[in-house]
A and B are shown apart, each in its own frame.
Chain A
Amino acid sequence: MKILVTGAAGFIGFHLCLSLLSRGDQVIGLDNINDYYDPSLKLARLKELGITNIVDGEKVASASYPGFSFIKTSIDQKEQLFSLFRESSFDAVVNLAAQAGVRYSLVNPDAYILANIVGFLNVLEACRHFPVKHLVYASTSSVYGSNTAMPFSESQATNHPISLYAATKKSNELMAHSYSHLYNIPTTGLRFFTVYGPWGRPDMALFLFTKAIIQGEPIKVFNDGRMQRDFTYIEDIVQGVVRVLDNPAMPSTEWRGDHPDAATSYAPYRVYNIGNNQPAELIEFIEAIETELGKKAIKEYLPMQAGDVPATHADITNLATDTGYSPQFSVQHGVKNFISWYKDYFKVG
């Protein structure tokens, strides 16, 4: 298959590209390499993919993967995106390009509208005018917002986001449904639950905590570390994305407008939770880091943060039933792999 992966220099995009390439797909990666976090980590990921000769706005070939090429551009650049679709005839698109981060959406809301709304619309429009067999796109567990009925199931209504980040991702699901309805584009949204692992984002807790503990600096622990997250290891996530990619969304014959199910549609539209189904308290996660590093964290306890939810827990029945998805990694195993990558990458310990 010929697949476009947007956000290819990002955490999940990078791992997905490696996985697709290893099974022989032809992959075009796209990323704007913005500086929301240190671009040198993104460049290092691209280097792993054989991309070193980056030129703004031009497609360049990988030196190590014959099936891979990369273009540095933004999904908010409609004309460049359209010409890429025009010349490439993609079989499928995985849209992982986005402005991520719950906290940052309180600081710089405009960035979220540009990347997640304008950019995503451009992707939908490109799929409309240059049809693809399947559009898979990143949503988030944050769409569950103020919901407290656990585990979170796709059939729940998700109308109460508590951050603009969540609101833009919920908007993506709504926009995708309208395009699935109007233009018959199979779309699948994946609600990621706290993804972690090697090559992860430096703004995420695991990365920040590891760095601080190694350097003997205090870590900020909110709500006594009693927040629960369904931490999901990157390899499990990639397994799920690939399984979904190979199973384009189908119309559901059981869907009824008088009792509308939020998880499905008469249109070729699906949303899935993609999690571990094993929530852990943040404090357990910190303990796993301490164990791996053989060093205690200096903890600074702080109250709950605006935009944060107390717990997340994914019901993954739908994804498991439809695609055979089955997460394999425990927090201890995943954290261990992360730390060994971190030490290697930063040449510590």
Chain B
Amino acid sequence: MKKMPMYQQPYHRNDLSSSHFLVTGGAGFIGSNIVEYLLKFSAGKVRVLDNFSTGSVNNIHQFLDNPAFELIEGDIRDLSTCQRAVEGIDYVSHQAALGSVPRSIDDPITSNEVNVSGFLNMLVAAQKSGVKKMVYAASSSTYGDSPDLPKVESKIGNPLSPYAITKYVNELYASVFSRQYGFHTIGLRYFNVFGPRQNPQGPYAAVIPLFITAALKHDTTYINGDGETSRDFTFVENAVQANVKALLSTNIEEHQVVNIAFGERTTLNQLWESITGLLETNIKPKYRDFRAGDVKHSLASISKAKDLIGYEPRVSVKEGLKTSVEWYKRSNATAKVPEL
């Protein structure tokens, strides 16, 4: 089994050794990838705040021995925890949230508490403690029912889920904090981010980890609709690049939101073909009805991110899938501790 290398080159020019970073949700999928990058390039301190509700210690165990790594097990719904987490911190990457549209439909109250109240706590704590920059995870779901393609930041539709509302509210708060307090943050509207450490388990798993793990086990796989639904799938390394560049940017004088995507459309049928091709099988998926509330197509314009923070996605969907497939194969291939 090949280990596909990630984060081979830096996306920054600065010396990070005297910078202190906080990654909320750092035990989650995107957060732990950001942590990996920062530690790899010798950041002075990388602190993680996570309540392990959807994050996992498996995502960070490899960092636990690193002297630059710090872990606070706590909840962003508690303001004093947020205040403790930002102490002595220069840069905040806020990734903590309850992801998943279906989860927010099942339990809108908890999604709102974490994604809205938790976000506001972090915003208040970061602004008051005088951090240099805060970047937060926004979402492509904010485009809602807008049919326009590609999506440009200035034109959104009506939200289609509680999750979309919570993420849009983040943008509204961030914008007001910029005007009222001069605290300028950057929201990254992620488009279908995938890659190593994305959880394939449970009812709220995303499509790529579901497809890969199902194809690995020859489980029956369902595609909702005819498979011609398309998305702008974004390999996690590209999202990490966006976080790093946004955090270290020096030209931001007001709140900004930017699309973070690869900038190409892939249909579910193409996705399935690529995955089964990589696994050298020809298992066929089963088709069933469209899921209510799903938009048919999604594609981002990434011009604003390019212009504003110099975002330049380097890893294609195909390459990202290859790395992911190898990772899912490896992740359950070897337990850490030998059985006797």
Contacts and interface: CB of A to CB of B under 8 A. Distances in A.
B339 A39 contact: no
A205 B339 CA distance: 5
A33 interface: yes
B340 A194 contact: yes
Interface stretch (A16-24, A117-125, A196-204, A259-267): A196-204
B340 A229 contact: yes
Nearest to A142: B340
Contacts of A208: 334-335, 338
Interface residues of A, number: 37
A308 B220 contact: no
B187 to A, nearest CB: 36
Interface in B204-227: 213, 216-220
B132 interface: no
Given A33-B218, A35-B217, A43-B218, A227 B340 contact: yes
Interface string B280-296: 00010000000000000
Interface in A177-220: 194, 201-205, 208-209, 211, 219-220
Contacts of B334: 37-38, 202-203, 208, 211
A43 B281 CA distance: 11
Interface in A99-139: 100-104
B149 interface: no
B52 to A, nearest CB: 14
Contacts of A35: 213, 216-217, 332
Contacts of A227: 340
A100 B335 CA distance: 12
A87 to B, nearest CB: 21
Contacts of A344: none
A209 B338 contact: yes
Contact of A202 (B213, B218, B333, B340): B333
Contact of A37 (B213, B218, B332, B340): B332
A310 B135 CA distance: 52
Interface string B307-340: 0000000000000000000000110111111111
Contact of A308 (B217, B333, B340): B340
Nearest to A308: B340
A37 B338 contact: no
A282 B340 contact: yes
Interface residues of B, number: 19
Given A194-B340, A308-B340, A104 B218 contact: no
Nearest to B201: A35
B106 to A, nearest CB: 21
A159 B335 CA distance: 29
Given A38-B333, A103-B335, A202-B334, A57 B220 contact: yes
A254 interface: no
A40 B339 contact: no
A101 B339 contact: yes
Interface string A23-64: 000000000111111111101000000000011110000000
Among A39, A202, A305, residue most surrounded by chain B Cβ atoms (within 10 Å): A39
B333 A305 contact: no
Contact of A72 (B218, B335, B338): B218
Contacts of B330: 38
A318 to B, nearest CB: 24
A204 B332 contact: no
Nearest to B219: A56
Interface centre among B219, B283, B336, B340 (most CB of A within 10 A): B340
A40 B334 CA distance: 12
Contacts of B339: 100-103, 201, 203-205
Nearest to A219: B338
Interface in A65-106: 72, 100-104
Contacts of A205: 338-340
Nearest to A208: B338
Contacts of A220: 336-338
Contacts of B332: 35-39
Contacts of A41: 333
Interface string A286-307: 0000000000000000000100
Given A34-B217, A202-B333, A220-B338, 16 more contacts: A35-B332, A37-B332, A38-B332, A39-B332, A54-B218, A56-B219, A56-B220, A57-B220, A102-B339, A103-B335, A202-B334, A203-B334, A204-B339, A209-B338, A211-B334, A282-B340
Interface of A: 32-41, 43, 54-57, 72, 100-104, 194, 201-205, 208-209, 211, 219-220, 227, 229, 282, 305, 308
22 contacts: A35-B213, A35-B332, A36-B332, A37-B332, A37-B333, A37-B334, A38-B333, A39-B218, A54-B283, A57-B220, A102-B339, A102-B340, A103-B337, A103-B339, A202-B335, A203-B338, A204-B338, A205-B339, A208-B334, A220-B338, A282-B340, A308-B340
Q: Which 7 A-B pairs have the closest CB atoms?
A: A205-B338, A38-B333, A203-B335, A56-B220, A54-B218, A208-B338, A35-B332
